[in-house]
Amino acid sequence: MKTGANYIGGKWQVAVKNRSFENHDPATGQLLSVYPETRRPELEQAIEAAEAAFKTWRLVPVARRGEILLKAMRLLETRKEETARAMTREMGKILTETRGDVQEAIDTAFYYAGEGRRFFGQTTTSELADKFAMSVRMPVGVCALVTPWNFPMAIPSWKIFPALLCGNSVILKPSSFTPDSAANLVQALEEAGVPPGVVNLVYGGGETVGKWLMEDPRVSLVSFTGSSAVGAKVGALCGKTFKKCGLEMGGKNAEIVMDDADLELAMEGALWGAFGTTGQRCTATSRLIVHEKVFKKFTSELVDRARALRVGYGLDPDTQMGPLISQAQRERVHRYVEIGLRKDKARLLTGGKALTQGALAQGSFYAPTLFEGTAEMTIAREEIFGPVAVLIKVKSFEEAMAVLNNSDYGLSGSIYTRDVQRAMRAIRDMQTGITYINAPTIGAEVHLPFGGVKHTGNGHREAGTAALEIFSEWKAVYIDYSGKLQKAQIDTHSTATPLADAPKPQWRKGG
């Protein structure tokens, strides 16, 4: 068993007795590690350390900051396998997926290291003579980063790396379900040469540590990934102290399967989208909108394949789907299944039950579950965050798009079709931040903006150059070298002919 620690001001601080929480393997129930439950005095230390470090880190050349990220990338590369295995043990998803999670952190570090050489502003002309104008990016200050357990290294990397590149200091508060992964990431940054206090790591609950960070006026920015219900509270708290706030929240993502689709490809996309990470992705495919001409065939085959999925321990190479993150999450998923059966009167096609036999007895496993239902059902509207998807029959492309857009969320959507006109209309009309053509709703890439519309976010984006927008502030700079007072936007054209009095053009007939 590992004894974990906060990382504050460049020092690891281990848990104090009676002020700690346990980290368990969701597949076996095994105790993996014990971590400190951060109290207010420790958080004060973290904020003070971040404040002090910001004053010098902001002055480090951006290219140098990028070089440190590149060193962190190389460390993560050398530790990829052990880090992925540790992640599988603490959050359950299969090893091929946790390797991908670590690889995403590696790719993100590589990307932002490169941005250290292209941290561009703009130069432009001035409306006045002998005057130069430009814009530059400036750091924000102390950034609080609140991250979930489903991508315990990728999502923190989306926030930490661009924040550091922009010259900010950070305080990471990860999920208590995945403390080991957060510690592994921060350790790589420490060894890469990030100065003490620039990165701080604190553990604890959202109602305590998270809330304290959001309320503290010394914190300039909060970047949050989690549910829409919690995100709304985060936004309200940040508004009281005028913090910058980035919210990446839930989804109720849909895959459209048209009558001209490659059904085999659509089937593979549906299985991966619905049951990858045990459905615990904000981009998971939880609605399958299928044209009536192929509905029966598609549904029958999909049910057979869902039943055949091998559920088990994520480190077993034969496993295709691991456990849910906790017993509490399994109970939540089952409550929605009961709603689907009793309130919605949906038709259960497969699954709908916890898996508790044999080797699965000690874990929080749940069967891959498919319903046939309608767009207005609760299970087709609310985010379940588990291996549950609803098949919905439609008669046309127009109806499919209307069903997809009839949601409070707008993160990711996909369509399978061979018709280029339908594909282009889907790109235009899909009310989502991410649109896939002939691919599932999951699978973002680090150099493209990630985020959604409606209840999914508040307009900011993660990843790519878009992330630099929230982690930096634009400053306009004017340099007047005329040697005299010049008044911008003052009428200096009094001798000019007003447009209203300008001579009218004389048009000639016949061209």
DSSP track, 154-187: HHHHHHHHHHHHTT-EEEEE--TT-HHHHHHHHH
Is residue 507 predicted with pLDDT exceeding 80?
A: no
For β-strands 388-394 and 122-124, DSSP reports them as unpaired
How far apart are alpha carbons 462 and 476 in whole angstroms?
24
- pLDDT at residue 109 greater than cutoff 60: yes
- 241 vs 54, 60, 210, 219, 288, CA distance in Å? 20, 28, 15, 9, 42
- % residues pLDDT > 70 (the chain): 95
The C-alpha atoms of residue 353 and residue 362 are separated, in whole angstroms, by: 15
Q: What whole-number percentage of the chain has pLDDT above 90? A: 93
Partners of 454 in beta bridges: 409
* Amino acid found at 500: A
What pLDDT digit, counting tens, does each position of 430-457 carry? 999 999 999 999 999 999 999 999 999 9
Structural domains of the chain in order of their starting residue, each with its CATH number: 2-249+461-473 (3.40.605.10), 253-445 (3.40.309.10)
pLDDT value of residue 14: 82
Output the CA torsion sign for 58, 60, 63, 64: negative
pLDDT at 70 over 80: yes
Residue 237: predicted pLDDT? 94
- State the pLDDT at residue 489: 80
In the predicted model, what is the mean pLDDT of residues 409-415? 98
The mean pLDDT value for 220-245 works out to 95
> What per-residue confidence (pLDDT) applies to 463?
97
Pure H helices in 309-348: 327-338
- Beta-strand pair 221-225/244-248: parallel
As a whole number, mean pLDDT of residues 399-417 equals 98
Mean pLDDT of 90-102: 98
Question: Which pLDDT belongs to residue 118?
Answer: 95
Whole-prediction pTM:
0.94
Q: Is the pLDDT score of 78 beyond 60?
A: yes
Closest by Cα among 206, 199, 96 to 147: 206
Task: Supply the pLDDT for residue 511.
Answer: 47
pLDDT of residue 298: 98
Question: Which range is least confidently modeled, 10-24, 42-56, 186-200, 497-511?
Answer: 497-511
pLDDT of 366-385, one tens digit each?
999 999 999 999 999 999 99
- Residues that are catalytic: 248, 282
At residue 394, does pLDDT exceed 70? Answer: yes
Q: Check residue 2 and give its pLDDT.
A: 86
Read out DSSP for 338-393? HIIIIIS--EEEE--SEE-SGGGTTS-EE--EEEEE-TTSGGGTS---SSEEEEEE
Give the amino acid at 212: W
Evaluate if residue 495 carries a pLDDT over 60.
no
Backbone φ, ψ for residue 368 (5° rounding): -55, 130
- pLDDT score of 499: 56
Are 432 and 450 within 8 A, CB to CB? no
Closest by CA to 418, choosing from 399, 437, 394, 393, is 437
How confident is the model at residue 397, as a pLDDT? 98
pLDDT computed for residue 492 by the predictor: 61
pLDDT averaged over every residue in the chain: 95
Q: Can you give the pLDDT at residue 199?
A: 98
Q: For the residues 5-28, what does the mean pLDDT come to?
A: 90
The per-residue pLDDT for 488 is: 83
Q: Is the pLDDT of residue 504 over 70?
A: no
Mean pLDDT of 130-157: 98
Per-residue pLDDT reduced to its tens digit, 316-370: 999 999 999 999 999 999 999 999 999 999 999 999 999 999 999 999 999 999 9
pLDDT, position 135: 98
Q: With H, G, I as helix, E, B as strand and everything else as coil, classify residue 67.
A: helix
